[in-house]
Amino acid sequence: MERYYQPEIECASRETILAWQNERLCKQVKNVWDNVPYYRRKMEEKGLTPDDIRGVEDLHKLPFVTKDDLREAYPYGLVARPLRDCVRIQSTSGTTGKRVVAFYTQHDLDLWEDCCARAIVAAGGTHEDVCQVSYGYGLFTGGPGLNGGSHKVGCLTIPTSSGNTERQIMFIRDLNATILCCTPSYAAYLGETMKEMGLSPDEIPLKAGIFGAEAWSEEMRRSIQETLGIKAYDIYGLTELSGPGVAFECSEQSGMHINEDHFIAEIIDPQTGEVLPEGSQGELVFTSITKEAFPLLRYRTRDICVLSRKSCSCGRTHVKMSKPRGRSDDMLIIKGVNVFPSQIETVLLAQGYQANYQMIVDRVNNTDTLEVQVEMTPENFSDNLAQITQMEKSLVAALKAMLGIYAKVRLVAPKSIARSEGKAVRVIDKRKI
C-alpha cells in the first residue's frame, strides 16, 4: 500500500494546488520587490510592479534568473531576509568561477527536510527503517538534506557521508541498513565491491535506494537494482532551490513528482525562452514560492526534461518530471551533433558493460574527435587482442546507431577508470583548453 508523508498535500486536488500556487506566488513577488533591490530593478526594467502578477497565469511576464545572475549577486545580493534570521548556507559543487551560495532560515530548512521526508516515505521508508546517508555532508546539499528528511521520518540515521567504501559496507551489514542514499554512480560502485566480496543480493539487508544528484539511465537503474537486490528511486534537486527533494519518485518509477506546493515548474525553449506546452521537451525553470531567505523567480536550471500531468497510480497529484536527459550545458556538440553522456551509458549497459566510462573529446585538424574509454567487466574481460578488437567494433557500431557519429572505442582493464564517491566525471573536453 502506498504511504505518504503529508497525504493532504501530496494528494491534494489540482484546484487546491493551483490556489496555493496563486496565493504564494503573489506573496513571493511582493516579498522580493520589497526586500531584494536586484529583483525590483529587473522587474522595473520590464515595466512590471507586483500588481501585474495576479497568479500563475502571469508568471511568464517575469524575467528569468540565471546562474550568471547568481554569480553576479554573490554573496548577499539575492538574500531576502536579514542575515540574523538566516541559520545555514549550502553551496553548489561547481568547480569553475564563484560558487553559488544559498541561504536558509530555520523555516526554509524545515520545509526542505519535509520534501526529503516525502521522498523517503515514497521509497517505502518508515520509522522502522535504518537509513544510511552516503551523500557528501558539508557544503553539498545531498548529505544534510537526506539526513534531515530521515530524522523527520524517524528512521535510524547513519550519517556515513561519502567515501571509505569498506566501512560503508560494514555498516550496511552490521547495522542492517534498509535504505541507502547516495549518487547512482556510488551505488553502482558499492554494488560492484559487494559482488567482489562474494555477497549475493539476499545477503545485503538494503531494500531501497534513493539516488540522484546526477543523470542516470534506466539501464543503470536495472543494474543497481539487480546487484543490490533493492528498488532504486530517483531524486532530483539543486542547491539554488534548497537541495535534494525538489522532486522524487514514487512506486511507479516513471518520473519524479515535483513538490508543487513549494516550486512552480515551467518548460521553456532554451534558445528563445518561450514557454512550451505540456509534454514538450525543454529546459526546466523553477519559481520557489515558499522560500524565505533565498527565493528565486523563474530560475533556469539548464536541465532538459519533459513534464507530465497524467494521473499516477501512487495517488499523488503533483506534476511529474522525466529523468533529466542531461544539462543543456553538459550537452556536447561533437561534429555538430548533440551528444549527452547518458546516451553512451544506455549503449554500454545494453551491451553488458557497466557505467564505468570516460568520454574524451578533442579537435584534430579542425575536426572534432570522440574517444570513449570503456572498462571491461570481470565477466567479459579478455586479454586476447582479436577478441578485444571484435568487442570494440561491436561498441563502435552500437554507438554510431545511437549518436549518429563515429566514436573511437578503447576497452580498458576492469577498475582502471577512477571511481567517484560523489558525482561522476564522465567527460574530458580537451577542446576548451
The CB-of-52 to ligand DLL minimum distance in angstroms stands at 29
Residues 147-186 that bind ligand DLL (CB under 6 A): none
Select from 52-60, 73-81, 233-241, 403-411 the region that touches ligand DLL (CB under 6 A).
Answer: 233-241
Nearer Cβ to ligand DLL, position 145 or 391?
145
Q: What angle do CA 398, 403, 406 make, to 5 degrees?
A: 75
C-alpha cell of 190? 558499492
- Residue 209 φ/ψ region, left for φ over 0, alpha for ψ in the -120 to 50 degree band, beta for the rest: beta
Among 148, 149, 191, 324, binds ligand DLL (CB under 6 A): 324
Q: Give every CB contact of residue 66 below 8 A, 6+ residues apart in sequence.
A: 299, 300
Q: Which amino acid does the sequence have at 12?
A: A
Nearer Cβ to ligand DLL, position 26 or 116?
116
Q: Which amino acid does the sequence have at 161?
A: S
Select from 23-31, 164-172, 221-229, 237-245 the region that touches ligand DLL (CB under 6 A).
Answer: 237-245
C-alpha 301/C-alpha 286 separation (Å) is 7
Q: Which residues pair with 116 in a beta bridge?
A: none
Select from 59-67, 120-128, 236-244, 356-364 the region that touches ligand DLL (CB under 6 A).
Answer: 236-244
Could you say whether residue 422 binds ligand DLL (CB under 6 A)? no
Q: Which residue is nearest to ligand DLL (CB)?
A: 212
Among 53, 238, 293, 359, binds ligand DLL (CB under 6 A): 238
Among 215, 268, 312, 355, binds ligand DLL (CB under 6 A): 215
The CB-of-331 to ligand DLL minimum distance in angstroms stands at 11
For 249-286, b where at least 16 C-beta lie within 10 A, e where not — what string?
A: bbbeebbbbbbbbbbbbbbbebeeeeebeeeeebbbbb
Helices then strands (H, E): number in the chain?
11, 20
Could you say whether residue 327 binds ligand DLL (CB under 6 A)? yes
Q: What angle do CA 347, 352, 353 make, to 5 degrees?
A: 75
Residues 79-108 that bind ligand DLL (CB under 6 A): 92-93
Query: Could you tell me how many residues of this chain bind ligand DLL (CB under 6 A)?
Result: 22
Could you say whether residue 113 binds ligand DLL (CB under 6 A)? no
Could you say whether residue 303 binds ligand DLL (CB under 6 A)? yes
Among 5, 39, 233, 236, binds ligand DLL (CB under 6 A): 236
For 24-45, b where at least 16 C-beta lie within 10 A, e where not — what string?
A: bbbebbebbbebbebbbebbee
Could you say whether residue 241 binds ligand DLL (CB under 6 A)? no
Could you say whether residue 142 binds ligand DLL (CB under 6 A)? yes
Nearer Cβ to ligand DLL, position 191 or 244?
244
C-alpha 242/C-alpha 230 separation (Å) is 27
Could you say whether residue 219 binds ligand DLL (CB under 6 A)? no
Q: Tell me the residue ranges of DSSP E strands in 140-291.
A: 156-158, 179-182, 208-212, 231-238, 243-249, 256-258, 263-268, 281-288
Could you say whether residue 136 binds ligand DLL (CB under 6 A)? no
Nearer Cβ to ligand DLL, position 328 or 354?
328
C-alpha 34/C-alpha 42 separation (Å) is 13
Q: Tell me the residue ranges of DSSP E strands in 129-206.
A: 130-133, 156-158, 179-182
Q: Which residues pair with 182 in a beta bridge?
A: 211
Could you say whether residue 135 binds ligand DLL (CB under 6 A)? yes
Among 21, 141, 317, 346, binds ligand DLL (CB under 6 A): 141
Residues at the contact surface with ligand DLL, assessed by CB under 6 A:
92-93, 135, 141-142, 212-215, 234-239, 243-244, 301, 303, 323-324, 327
